[in-house]
Amino acid sequence: MSTFLTSLEQVLSAEHRPVLFDHDTWHSTSELRNDVLRVKQALWNAGLRERDEVLLGLPNSYEFAVVYLALLQSGIVVAPVNPKIPAAELERVMTRLDAKAVIGSQVQADAWNPVLCQRGFDSNLNVAISPAGTAGTSLPIVVSLAPLRLSQTTESAPGTAGDDDAPAVLMFTSGTTGKPKGVLLRRRHLLHAVNNVILSHQLTEFDVAYCILPLFHINAQVIVLLSTLLSGGRLVMVDRFHASRFWDDVTTHRVTWVSAVPTILSILSKQQSKTHRTHYLRFIRSASAPLSPAIKTRFECSVGVPVVESYGMTEAAGQICINPLPPAVRKAGSVGKPFGLELEILNDEKHPVGPNHVGEIVIRGQNVIEAYAGAEGQHADSRWDGWIFTGDLGYRDDDGYVFITGRAKEIINRAGEKLSPREIEDVLSGHPSVDRSAVIGVPDPLYGERVVAFVVPVDYEVGGKGALVHELAQMCKNSLANHKCPAEIVVARSLPVGPTGKVQKHLLRDAQTLHLLA
């Protein structure tokens, strides 16, 4: 029997109480359970069975939670994707999995129809979820079936079964430095990841989480949705982050914690007129992208809510490190300490290094995959003696706090000197007129690579961009060794980022992209 599925069933079978807010109403545990059971039966009737792979492309919503939980409890492998991806990108995703069905909204199903028809899919099943008290506002859901699927089965769908080694979620890494890798998370990975989050965040049934990150990402799925449900807490759902309503929602629903990304913290730190309102926030968690110490300080000073920086990845089903909650020590610039898993830092010869020595971070633990899915799992450079290489460089200080210095593939080699973009970005982001920055290495005939920095001003339309470049160059000269200073600083309107705020640096290196950003 699966401990993970049993835990989910206990949550859904709990006494009637509010559990998830969406569609302007609180949905109860009994309502959620009934809808999950109904969708499970519909999936079974459509011929979907345990270990079948199903692509899920729904936006943040009560319906996502219902379908996601129904797939997990049915033993179906769920592959969540951005519901807004164009048909061409959907085609690339479909080549990476053996999808027996594609689940999305009616609008998205229409947009994806050319790709699905080419693959023989048939939009012949509509699953209508009608939350109580919200007639007419539910999201129409379409299940497009692969050819030769069974249908109109009269048997009842089986109950919770299977063990914790069964596959549960198939995801693909963000691909910030290249081709995404397939990550197959088993029930045991999810179970241990959720337990780590509950313990490290000290979550209880009195907590209210605010889901503003996309649910097709591991952060929102495990750290926000599953951890909130299994801790007995409540969840406020929104389709995406809305700066104009953030504080109203947090205050109205007495939200106690939020999982966010640095971009969101940067935006909120500028809303000083909004932050005097009464709220119940214990902390805001920052992850998914590097947090500049300058943004952290600005947010905490203007808002008065502690920021808890953390570090995670899909391969660990979410969390790897986290700073302790207040009043324990939170170190600026650090992602905290490993929680619930093992972490080592290796040199180029794959030997562990001591404190304050930079190397590549490797991890292993009960929430960490043992290998990548598909062909990537056979690559020797992805594993080491049972450990998974993260691709991140960093070091631990004498107290065991981990500091990320950059991505191994993003390290700049200037005349033999290895430079970390993160160190330079922290200096640039410290300027009060800079909203965010990104540093890359570009080919140079003399030095091999030269440092190019991109900065997005707080207000691009304000003049004085030449003065800003001069000030930034002087800041770098005062704070960095000469060989680390950018050879060029480009003032850009925006940077190419993924859905969780990570800068897509492989796109920055594209000549056409460089031209468009300036």
**Got the DSSP string for 45-83?**
HTT--TT-EEEEE--SSHHHHHHHHHHHHHTPEEEE--T
> Considering the entire predicted model, what is its pTM?
0.84
* Residues listed for the chain: 518
Beta-sheet pairing, 359-364 with 337-338 = unpaired
Query: Which residues fall within 8 angstroms of residue 244, CB to CB, at 6 or more apart?
Result: none
Closest C-alpha among 102, 94, 93, 39 to residue 65: 39
pLDDT at 133: 46
Distances (CA, A) of 246 to 87, 237, 272, 357: 32, 12, 13, 40
Q: Delimit the CATH 3.30.300.30 region(s) of the chain.
A: 411-517
pLDDT at 407: 83
CA distance 326 to 202: 11
pLDDT at 209: 98
Query: Which residues fall within 8 angstroms of residue 466, CB to CB, at 6 or more apart?
Result: none
pLDDT at 175: 55
CATH code linked to domain 411-517: 3.30.300.30
Tell me the backbone φ, ψ of residue 257, rounded to 5 degrees.
-160, 155
Q: Is 93 helix (H, G, I), strand (E, B) or coil?
A: helix
CA distance 19 to 191: 20
Element (H, E) at 166: none
CATH code linked to domain 192-339+396-408: 3.40.50.12780
CA distance 159 to 330: 44
CA distance 341 to 336: 13
Answer CATH for 3-163 from 3.30.930.10, 3.40.50.980, 3.20.20.10, 3.30.360.10: 3.40.50.980
Q: Delimit the CATH 3.40.50.980 region(s) of the chain.
A: 3-163
Per-residue pLDDT of the chain in tens (518 residues, 90 and over written 9): 799 999 999 998 988 899 999 989 999 999 999 999 999 998 988 889 999 999 999 999 999 999 999 999 999 999 999 998 888 888 888 888 899 999 988 888 888 888 888 888 876 666 666 655 454 456 767 788 876 554 555 576 676 667 999 999 999 876 544 567 899 999 999 999 999 999 999 999 999 999 999 999 999 999 999 999 999 999 999 999 999 999 999 999 999 999 999 889 988 987 755 555 668 999 999 998 888 888 899 899 888 899 999 999 999 999 999 999 999 999 989 999 999 999 999 998 999 999 999 999 999 999 999 988 875 555 545 556 779 999 899 999 999 999 998 888 888 888 777 788 888 998 998 899 998 899 999 888 777 889 999 999 988 888 778 899 999 999 999 888 888 999 999 999 889 887 767 788 878 877 545 555 65
Q: Delimit the CATH 3.40.50.12780 region(s) of the chain.
A: 192-339+396-408
DSSP string, 479-512: HS-GGGS-SEEEE-S---B-TTS-B-HHHHTSHH
